[in-house]
Structure 1
Amino acid sequence: MGLKAAPEDQALLLELQEFDTRLQQLAHRARTLPEHAAVAALGGEIETVRRTLAEQTGSWEDARTELGRVESDVAVVEARIARDRDRLQGSSSVKDVAALEQELAALARRQDELEEIELVVMERVEEQETALAATREELAALEARSAETVAARDTALAALEQDRIHIAANRATVAGKVPADLLALYEKQRERYGVGASHLRAGVSSASGVALNATDLNAVRAAAPDDVILCPDSSAILVRTAESGL
């Protein structure tokens, strides 16, 4: 014997299905919020800029290390020049004076070379510092945009969650009025086919959007008002009302 349920109890399934459809729509909206894609895109940009920043920082540190070496070499040469000048002032040996003057000339040339290298490296350090500052500024701007987008996404999700809670509460109220065996069949069909109840309106099943053929329509007409019947196309519970055109 097939399941029986009062027509008014079967009509409750249409309310239940409406709530479930709205809950599905809310879930879809929550999954497909444009902010999700925006957050992901900004995250990719941030990672790219962070890699650039890391590379630039490495190059800047290398340049700073090189500058330190050159500055150390310059300091050594300057110290040797100062030492040789002191020795030159205190020497009375012609041979020693000649040797010291020769060494001082070589040291002066070396000092000029090192100072030229120092200037080049200093310029490179300054250029890299400028690039680093620009990249840090770009990263800060992206992170700020990302934070704003995340906040907007969370606000939108919170609003959708409030709607979901409200609809779920109304659904629970309606579900509590549906006989247990009818509700169980509804849930089973909804889980299996995606739709639990279909409104037969003017001979058309709302779940499938298809008009019942003559044979199926005659079978529906022949069924008792409290018979629970399934839509031949969608397998949802076919709910008959005054609009069914029977």
Structure 2
Amino acid sequence: MALTASSETQARLLDLQKLDTALHQLAHRSRTLPECAAVTALQEDAERIKAAVVETSGHLEDARLELGRAESDVELVEKRIARDAERLQSSSSVKDIQGLEHELASLRTRLGDLEEIELAIMERIELLERAATGARETLEAHTARRTVAEEALAAALAEIDRERADLDAQRSALVAELPADLVALYEKQRERYGTGASHLRARVSSASGVTLTGSDLEMVRRASPDEVILCPDSNAILVRTAESGL
């Protein structure tokens, strides 16, 4: 048995379709918000900036360890110089004195080399500290921008949620007023084909944008006004009104 509903009731399906179209557009908006793209870009940049912070911090730590080893070497040589100098002062053996003086000369040369190495490391540490500070400041500034962008995204999504809640409420109220079997057919066609109701206006189906052929128009004309029929092109429920041009 063919499904029937008054012309006025069928026309209300167009309002339902408008609500569903608006809900679909909201879903698309939520996925394509410029705020979303901005946050995604900042998230990708964050990984690169964090990696730079880790890398510069690692180089700085390595340099500090290297400086610690150099300082230990300097301290060791200084102790040996002090020990040999003390022995030199108390020695009376010409041979021992010559040996100590030779060793002291070698140690002082070694100390000079180590102090140059130590100075070079300290200069490198100074550069690395500036680089590490710059990397951290860059990360902090980026984090602040990311926070602002995430807040903007949250606000945009909250606005979409409010709009969606309003549309959902309107939709629920409308569905409650329509015959269950008519709504079931509408939902079935919308699920399968993307559109549940199509307005026939000036012989053109709004869902497909196609003008009905002569044979299709004849089929529509033969159908009683309360018979629920489907659009031959879009398979949505074809809603006929005074604008249909029949």
> What TM-score do you get using the length of structure 2 for normalisation?
0.97
Aligned residue identity for 1:163: E
Give the corresponding residue for 2:126. 126
Matches of 1:105 and 1:224, distance apart in 2:
118
* Overall identity of the aligned pairs, in %: 59
Give the corresponding residue for 1:155. 155
Q: Displacement, 1:26?
A: 0.3
Q: State the Cα deviation string for residues 211-233 of structure 1 (Å, max 9, x = none).
A: 11111112111111110000011
Within 5 Å, give how 1:60-209 maps onto structure 2. 60-209=60-209
- Please say which of residues 153-162 and 210-219 is displaced more in the overlay: 210-219
Aligned residue identity for 2:183: L
Q: State the Cα deviation string for residues 121-153 of structure 1 (Å, max 9, x = none).
A: 111111111111111111111111111111111
Matches of 2:242 and 2:111, distance apart in 1:
104
Q: State the Cα deviation string for residues 63-86 of structure 1 (Å, max 9, x = none).
A: 111111110000011111111222
Q: Displacement, 1:61?
A: 1.4
Give the corresponding residue for 2:219. 219
Matched, 1:243 2:236: no
Q: Count how many residue pairs are aligned between Structure 1 and Structure 2.
A: 246
Matches of 1:49 and 1:87, distance apart in 2:
57
Q: CA RMSD in A?
A: 1.1
Structure 2: 5+ residue runs without aligned partners? none
Matches of 2:74 and 2:134, distance apart in 1:
31
- Please say which of residues 42-51 and 181-190 is displaced more in the overlay: 42-51
Q: Displacement, 1:40?
A: 1.5
Secondary structure in 1 matching 2:51: helix
Matches of 2:95 and 2:181, distance apart in 1:
120
Give the corresponding residue for 1:44. 44
Aligned residue identity for 1:189: Q
Aligned residue identity for 2:129: E
Matches of 1:43 and 1:166, distance apart in 2:
32
Q: State the Cα deviation string for residues 31-56 of structure 1 (Å, max 9, x = none).
A: 11112221121111111121222222
Matches of 1:218 and 1:103, distance apart in 2:
118
Matches of 1:172 and 1:243, distance apart in 2:
27
Q: Displacement, 1:90?
A: 2.2
- Please say which of residues 177-186 and 144-153 is displaced more in the overlay: 144-153
> What TM-score do you get using the length of structure 1 for normalisation?
0.97
Matches of 1:17 and 1:43, distance apart in 2:
38
Secondary structure in 2 matching 1:149: helix
